[in-house]
Chain A
């Protein structure tokens, strides 16, 4: 069984640029959630994708967008990067589209915005 994988592991961008982060869900899982974890904080929910549709969204602006593909992998896109976007971005996969299911996290992508 393959766990959740994310790419790239680290990324450096400058303010105003755009970034795309990728996530492959765990085998058998059809739901992907994205979280932002600032240094020293708990993860904050960005949104969840289930069957290629956004299935819930946290308090993040529209410049944070996502996609889920037929193989259940997912992308997180962030436009017009701001310094405060510097964080660890975590992807979590699960099965069930938001029910009381366990979410399994990947190792994250560390984004630094200069």
Chain B
């Protein structure tokens, strides 16, 4: 019940296309859902985050869609660029361990020029 399931494992998109990454969770005690971007050899960097009382949040080319009843949320990257090529992790905050972020398995995004 503490898991966050992320798909797909890898994604290849052409420059200018839309990248979509999906996550699903079971624990309704999760109270905050961030997305992180990680480049090789670096720590994860916060991209965008959403709280469960909001259905959508947009920041620049990045949008989170949140479906509380389905316990699913997704990241959409519009006009994908080669510089977006990285590993993306969804995460969920809270649950059984206070302060904890539970991460998905990650999606390796490759954007071809």
Contacts and interface: CB of A to CB of B under 8 A. Distances in A.
A102 interface: yes
Contact of A103 (B89, B101, B106): B101
B36 A98 contact: no
Contacts, number: 67
A19 B20 CA distance: 40
Interface string A1-37: 0001000000000000000000000000001010100
A41 B106 CA distance: 7
A44 B3 CA distance: 11
Q: Is the interface of B mostly helix, strand, loop or mixed?
A: strand
Contacts of A97: 99
A100 B31 contact: yes
Nearest to B100: A45
Interface in B1-60: 6, 31-32, 34, 36, 41-46, 49, 51
Interface residues of B, number: 27
B42 A107 contact: yes
A5 to B, nearest CB: 10
Given A40-B106, A44-B103, 18 more contacts: A33-B99, A33-B100, A42-B91, A42-B104, A45-B97, A48-B98, A55-B99, A56-B97, A56-B98, A58-B100, A90-B44, A98-B98, A98-B99, A100-B32, A100-B51, A102-B46, A104-B46, A108-B43
8 contacts: A42-B6, A43-B101, A45-B97, A45-B100, A45-B102, A50-B99, A104-B46, A105-B36
